[in-house]
Chain A
Amino acid sequence: MHKHRIIYMKYLHIIFYLITLCAVILSTSCVSNPYPHGEVPEGFALIQEDAFETGYWTSISPEGVKYRLRVVENKPLQSLDFWSRSLTAEMTRRGFINKGTPFLLDEESIWGAEWVVPQGSEDYLFLTALKVEGGNILIAEAAGPTNIFMEYRQDILDALEKAEVVEK
């Protein structure tokens, strides 16, 4: 009995080490790593699908209209209404003009707005859309020369409804 006790004491530090290791592994696996995922708009090509590593999910049209998804932490924890108003205030302060009126998609879970951006001798349209998913905010951005962007606008909006935050 005494002999067994000595063996137990001898290996106690190893047991303790193993328990700690298991705890670290478990805790690491529980920490979520959110990244964006979406559907490629009609006529676009997916050029950046390693969102888990880069944080960006990007697709592009033959003419260069870009559609990108990314995820940021919803910190401080706020609603879609709060963030949409904050973004609008900042874009307006910077002098950008809203084209049309902001829109809501997917049962009002996605808020979006389009901004006119002068670029050289051309007018670009810059779309921003937000979706709040718990502790994350999914940000969608798309831009291109106005006339070309308008050709893809509906395809982008359709794809926008399929955009999501994936937790790994």
Chain B
Amino acid sequence: MKVIENLRSSLAQLTLLEIGDQSGDYGAMLFAGLGANVIKIEPVCGSPSRRIGPFATPQQDRESSLFFWRYNLNKKSIALDMDSPVARAVMSRLSDTADIVLLSGEFKTVDRQLKWWRQIAEEKRRLIVCSITPFGLDGPYRDFKSTDLTQLAMGGIMAMCGYDPNSDGVYDTPPIAPPMWHSYHVAGEYAAVTIMAAVNFRDLTNDGQFIDTSMHEAINTCTELSIPIYLHNGEVVKRQTARHAMVQSTPLRLPRSSDGVPVLAGLSPLARDLAAFVRLADDSGIPHELRSAEFEQWRKNDPGAADEYLNQLVDKIVGSISAEEVFIRAQTQGLPWAPIRRPEQNLQDPHFISRGSFATIEHSELGRDLLYPGTVAGDGISPHMSYTCRAPRLGEHSWEVLEKAGFTRNEIEEMARQKAIVAYEVSRGE
């Protein structure tokens, strides 16, 4: 593969102003990963996402939230007293050079902000203003309260995830909301896609626009077979342990490796999968009858017996070696098997290391670096999305951003004296 044009700084000409709660952090960070100048405008008490755990230190203060660290890489922070006239003066000035405004939060809060941004956008027609709210800006649920949990419930994901019913066919465990923060992930990804479409449209027409992203609708697009099965067949899928929710129960196939790890080790009816399994069985050294006439007869005349034999052999092979060995050996033969890893087991994985999947971020306050999952794609040599800066401290970039926006040093100092801004240089000296 030759050196190819990387997308790393392809959005470097774009400035995005981010105002809101935790539901907007991730979507804005995707732009920062492609080089956009993302300025997070926080209230002086700090963004709500600074209060979400876990925390890096026992103090659990606004500078130690791992949620905030995770979802605010590469961003700048400016902290304003949102109720003071200074805040509007600053945001108005920043909007002169901004391309995108991303608002997030409950409907009432975002709606109030939008009224002001609509006035601004009348003069600045190139501005793209996107909101992420729990249910969108209209409709009977627009004022409903929501959390990640209730979003995954109402959006249909929870009904598909959980454990098998008991032996009487009764569900004795609840539907499960897979952790963590997937409603913010899905809504953020859709907001990012839609904003980029609007940027493309602006390039053609010179017109910005407003975008109303509904988290509830975003999640509703993300449930695969559930809706098509109901619409077309009138049937409802039921949740099953660690496998697809289906109308009819399907067998649970998660054999354990010699080191006790469940392994996703299914065999499809495809001829190529069976051929791959024969090679794996050969490689394992475990005696088998896969080439025998008897097995061929089972396959033709008694598929149930053939399946039972195959499953027993899968269990034997998986149980004879470690999960990681199963993974490598099965995949080498072309079987799409994988161990159920804990997330952290990937930190030392040679594949992800060679792809540059993790960004090394310096944390001077901890005296160490931390690895962050950084990208989803590369150009064959290096990642397209690049994260190099830890999440900002509250108001860390107030000076820089305000000076760049044309405010004088005296004006900034006056704002700080009035406590209308948190400017990191000043607060550090307090």
Asked if chains A and B come from one complex, the reply is no
Chain B residues near A (Cβ < 8 Å): none
Chain A residues near B (Cβ < 8 Å): none
